[in-house]
Amino acid sequence: MKILHNFSPNYSKKTRSKNKINFVIIHYTGMQSEIESIKRLKDPRYKVSCHYLINRKGAIAQMVNDRNVAWHAGKSQWKNFINLNNYSLGIELVNKGHQFGYQNFNIKQIYSLIRLCKFLKKKYLIKNENFLGHSDIAPMRKIDPGEKFPWKKLSKFNIGKWYKKKKIKIVFNSKIIETLFYKNLQKLGYKYFSINKRSFRDKKIIKAFQRHYLPKNVNGQIDKKTFEISYFLTH
């Protein structure tokens, strides 16, 4: 696997230990071109960066050393982890994103991502379920890598969590299902909601879950299919 170097000055200078690298967070660049994306990721004024950038042709460039904290996750939570920058590696995929014309991810780009993730997983002993999207850890602010990202495909290479269908012995009752659904999300690691109190945040969290596991049905509703997938993932 060939990795180019195009280093950014945007990172925390203090190095972290190898065992502090527990997650890989996947993003899209959300800018109109690869050149614009690189400029942004290297511009000290914006204070954003990533560890790796993969372009549409599948070329991989390292922008921050793994042992340094890159600034890619922002305000974020997953399980008991707060500020995922400190515990993760960030990978940006060149894609215009929803603002400028969301694209299907190029097959070469995805296979380069798979190779890189397999390498990082082995090197840092990263758990399968700890390969996440930006919208999983920051659902109030982010929607990337979005509903076109092939999580199911990655799971076939043991990258990221996916589900297997099972029999469910629960009668579909909206009130019961809602409570159970949020408990399932809590088990997975999603934050920013209360099991006992609904809020405006909930729809964004449901959509984040759907973008990852039910990309053809991102409606923010706890329908039967959405609940079932949350159950498959946690039981």
C-alpha closest to that of 94 among 135, 142, 40, 130: 40
Report the interhelical angle of 202-213 vs 224-234 (nearest 10°): 70
Q: Give Cβ neighbours of residue 2 (< 8 Å, ≥ 6 apart).
A: 59, 60
Distances in whole angstroms, Cα of residue 195 to Cα of each of 25, 140, 159, 177, 190 = 25, 17, 29, 12, 11
**Among 92, 147, 178, 228, the one annotated catalytic:** 92
Our answer to whether residue 228 is catalytic in this structure is no
- CB-count burial class (<10 Å; 0-12, 13-18, 19+) for 100: middle
Return the half-sphere exposure (C-beta side, CA atoms, 13 A cut-off) of residue 94.
Answer: 24
The residues annotated with a catalytic role in the active site are 92
